[in-house]
Amino acid sequence: MRILVTGGLGFIGRKIVLTALEGGHEVRILDRTPALPSTSTVDVVTGDVTDAAATEAALDGIDVVCHQAAKVGLGVNLQDMPAYVSDNDGGTAVLLAAMHRAGVDRLVLASSMVVYGEGRYDCPEHGRQPAPPRSKQALGAGQFEPTCELCGTPMTPGLVQEDAPLDPRNAYAASKIAQEHLTNIWANQTGGRAIALRYHNVYGPGMPQDTPYAGVASIFRSALLGGEAPQVFEDGQQRRDFVHVADVARANIASINAVTRDATAPYRAYNVGSGEVRSVHDMARALAEALDGPEPVVTGQFRLGDVRHITADSHRLGRELGWIPGVSFADGMRELAAERSDSMT
């Protein structure tokens, strides 16, 4: 298969490219980062996905697009909003229109678990209840768990499935939902086929580091390598599912194979997580132990727009596409700790 990977020089994109090549696919990369010239195995096009001409040219001869180019992270503040919308939504709109012109009708889209907002919660008294955004006041008072609107009791999080309501809590999440909606519309209007992969917290070799948009595992690793304690926000009990980049790359290849078969639905979304839910404090401790560094410090600080727990059920991807995660939390964190710093970006 001839695959175009947008953002193919990024953290996740690079791993997808390598995995696709190992699987015998032909790969072209479209990425705005200036890169080494194309090799005999990979064709690298330097260009921005928001640039219609560059994107259309990159689509020449392609069977399926794997769209990873995006601005990620929570964002530093509201001034990031225009860039999330133009890079993620503008870029996707330009790509979809160019795909239609070029007659390329298969797409795998990188989405995110943040599309669910706080996801699913149960009150011990009132059962399933919505979890409204956490106010600055509540967070400042150290009240981190979402509370029941009816009785104010802290609620218990549950695993979110793909048909849960979409409920963005920050600009990045809103931009990912818009990408999904645009893709769904494209599929229905053109007869195309698309799969959206809603990633949990992706980590592993090559993670971006030393930028405000780096994931928490990379931030803690950098702190520990500098001899400093990881700064754990809130009370450290916020839960995440840390999924290894190699597993995410395999999920993309499984989706590329599925979406190029005619039997698939026009549009299907899948959660992509390891199934191992850990607190951020546990993750900090695992890295501190592996690097023989100082104990993590729980600071009580918070970021507005952060969701408390992100825990979803990723079984649909296994049931329908045969994907199972291969890297355990313990092995993955040890590997991340042991990675040489100069091999990270």
Using CB under 6 A as the criterion, which residues of the chain lie in contact with ligand UD1 when the complex forms? 72-74, 112-114, 199-201, 213-216, 219, 231-233, 238, 240, 280, 303, 306, 310
Q: 29 or 217, CB closer to ligand UD1?
A: 217
CB of 265 to ligand UD1, least distance (A): 24
The residue type of 331 is D
CB atoms within 10 A of CB 329: 21
CB of 270 to ligand UD1, least distance (A): 14
User: Sign of torsion, CA 135 76 244 261?
Assistant: positive
Q: Give 86's DSSP letter.
A: I
Q: 74 or 148, CB closer to ligand UD1?
A: 74
CB of 228 to ligand UD1, least distance (A): 11
Contact 258, 264 (CB under 8 A): yes
Q: Collapsing DSSP states into helix, strand and coil, what is residue 321? A: helix
CB of 200 to ligand UD1, least distance (A): 5
The residue type of 66 is C
d(CA 84, CA 71): 6
Q: 55 or 112, CB closer to ligand UD1?
A: 112
* Strand (E) or helix (H) holding 239: strand 239-244
Q: 9 or 45, CB closer to ligand UD1?
A: 9
Q: 105 or 252, CB closer to ligand UD1?
A: 252
Q: 99 or 139, CB closer to ligand UD1?
A: 139
CB of 206 to ligand UD1, least distance (A): 13
Q: 187 or 310, CB closer to ligand UD1?
A: 310
CB of 247 to ligand UD1, least distance (A): 14
Name which of 287, 301, 306 is nearest 228 in CA terms.
Answer: 287
Q: 264 or 279, CB closer to ligand UD1?
A: 279
Helices 91-102/171-190 angle, 10° precision = 20
* Alpha helices per DSSP H over 31-170: 52-58, 81-83, 91-102, 136-140
Q: Which pair of tokens denotes residue 71?
A: 């601005």
CB of 22 to ligand UD1, least distance (A): 25
CB of 140 to ligand UD1, least distance (A): 14
d(CA 338, CA 233): 24
Q: Give 34's DSSP letter.
A: -
CB of 289 to ligand UD1, least distance (A): 17
Q: 101 or 303, CB closer to ligand UD1?
A: 303
